[in-house]
Amino acid sequence: MFDASSSDASSVHRTIHRLDGLVAVVTGAAYGPKAALGSVFADALCAEGARVVVADIVDAEPVAAALRARGGQAIAVRVDVTDEASVEALAAKAEEAFGRLDILVNNAVVGSNIPPVPIGALDVAAWDQVMAVGLRGSFLCAKAAAPRMARNGWGKIVNLGSTTMQDGLPNRLHYVSMKGGIQALTRALARELGPQGIRVNTLATGLVANPAAGAAFTAKPELVAAIRADRAIPEDVTPADLTGPLVFLCSRDSDAVTGQFIVADKGGFFT
């Protein structure tokens, strides 16, 4: 019988940092609203031993400072993910600070919290902004990170996806289309970069209880309740619920996984 009081049992609970020695870049990781996804992701990777580059178009130093205060290694870098020179500078700063680049989390996005807009009222500028940050930004960041990962013969790219890509979401055509493009990017990159030891996956969810989805949670509580009730596990999905899958996809535990659409939504969408 397993004896939890034995010395062997206690050794099971020793701290294991799955990302020790690795360097991760997380985009869209400034605090903004408290508990935004990117800052939670940066915290989770740092807790697993990664040295983290907290990147955002706004000041992300408070996030990096908080990670350092808890004993982690982190720097903040301002970046415009739609600008190739800015993204290349981000990757160069990661290498300059920590000597390498192993993990990229493409979290920067625009569109998840915008009001519903029917196609007749959707203007080109709004479409272009959502595509530029979400899809162009993910492409540019992967383009800058891939050769640096290839030099080490290993790397992980995690793109943030959405189940709206599969089930469709009316009146958010630009956001849903961008997320569909993200999965196409994931599949193509996985094929292209696999021979260089780089794995590329999409981590997707549905509605997450975080400030980016604040309008839905405050203005339409009945919709939120219906989404919650329809899940196999009828609970809210929180940013913390995504950190376990994220760390898995960033670690060597998932080395056999690439090109995949990994859904963490408590059973809200079954294909």
Kindly state the DSSP code that residue 134 receives in the 8-state scheme. Answer: I
Q: Are strands 74-78 and 103-106 parallel, antiparallel or unpaired?
A: unpaired
What Å distances lie between residue 168 and 58, 172, 178, 181, 213, CA to CA?
31, 9, 12, 13, 17
Are the C-beta atoms of residues 105 and 39 closer than 8 Å to each other?
Answer: no
| Catalytic sites, residue numbers | 175
Environment class of residue 187 by beta-carbon count within 10 Å: exposed (0-12), middle (13-18) or buried (19+)?
middle
Q: 104 — phi, psi (to 5°)?
A: -125, 125
Helices (H) and strands (E) in the chain, counts: 11, 7
Task: Name the region of 22 (left: φ>0; alpha: ψ -120 to 50; beta: rest).
Answer: beta
Which residue has tokens 């930004």?
Answer: 137
Environment class of residue 215 by beta-carbon count within 10 Å: exposed (0-12), middle (13-18) or buried (19+)?
middle
